[in-house]
Amino acid sequence: MQQKTKIAPSILSADFAQLGAEVAAIAAAGADYVHVDVMDGHFVPNITIGPGVLKALKPHAKIPFDVHLMIAPVDPFVAEFAAAGADIITFHPEAGAHPHRTVQLIKSLGKKAGVSLNPATSIDVLDYLLPDLDLVLVMSVNPGFGGQAFIPSALEKIAEIRRRIDKVSVAQNGRVIDLEVDGGINAETARQAVAAGADVLVAGTATFKGGPAAYAGNIAGLKT
């Protein structure tokens, strides 16, 4: 069953010179998650931050830290990000030989596990993973950079995954699995994504535009 819409601002669009204050500001403004994009310059064509920065940011917000690992291989780094303060750890199935083992590793560390699907990744990869997941992230842009335009075909993927999540939720007595979408989220695409079945919106530019005084309004606008 689709949940109330949650907003996960991507700190990739924050002021990196004031990152702790930015995280505190979005939490105070009504964000539900802090979305942390981790890129290695190998799996995706950009380099962002590592577990040390995550550890430094953790005290600045009490809301969950939603950590999206765009790194390969992923397994050797899962424990470090868990120890640094990740509450949800999401990875790409292409980033390791055994995605189910990666899910088990994340769960063994007491964290929620998510899988991220790139625009060209088939949803069939979820066939034997979904019952064990806490989150599915649909990429509505190709990962690596902020500010890209929303890919419309992501809406079909969201709708089909929503059907699959609802089926698993019924079978598991209403267990919640977040359906998150990331890339090109603005007022228009947020409405489209939620209508298709998404219940968590990753929003970088749309959250951080206008500076801290605008964050509450930006987040509230995306939720409605």
Task: Report the CATH number at residue 12.
Answer: 3.20.20.70
Convert the pLDDT of each residue in 212-224 to its tens digit.
Answer: 999 999 999 999 8
Per-residue pLDDT at 147 exceeds 80: no
Convert the pLDDT of each residue in 6-33 to its tens digit.
Answer: 999 999 999 999 999 999 999 999 999 9
Number of domains in the chain: 1
108 is in an annotated binding site: no
pLDDT attached to residue 146: 73
13 domain residue, yes or no: yes
35 domain residue, yes or no: yes
59 domain residue, yes or no: yes
Average pLDDT over residues 71-79: 98
pLDDT attached to residue 219: 97
Per-residue pLDDT at 144 exceeds 90: no
183 is in an annotated binding site: yes
pLDDT attached to residue 145: 76
Confidence of residue 190 (pLDDT cuts 50, 70, 90): very high
Per-residue pLDDT at 194 exceeds 80: yes
pLDDT attached to residue 224: 86
184 is in an annotated binding site: yes
3-state secondary structure the chain: CCCCCEEEEEHHHCCHHHHHHHHHHHHHCCCCCEEEEEEECCCCCCECCCHHHHHHHHHHCCCCEEEEEECCCCHHHHHHHHHHCCCEEEECHHHCCCHHHHHHHHHHCCCEEEEEECCCCCHHHHCCCHHHCCEEEEECCCCCCCCCCCCCCHHHHHHHHHHHHHHHHHHCCCCCCEEEEECCCCHHHHHHHHHHCCCEEEECHHHHCCCHHHHHHHHHHHHC
60 domain residue, yes or no: yes
159 domain residue, yes or no: yes
74 domain residue, yes or no: yes
Catalytic residues: 37, 182
1 domain residue, yes or no: no
Structural domain span for residue 72:
6-223
pLDDT attached to residue 94: 97
139 domain residue, yes or no: yes
Convert the pLDDT of each residue in 109-134 to its tens digit.
Answer: 999 999 999 999 999 999 999 999 99
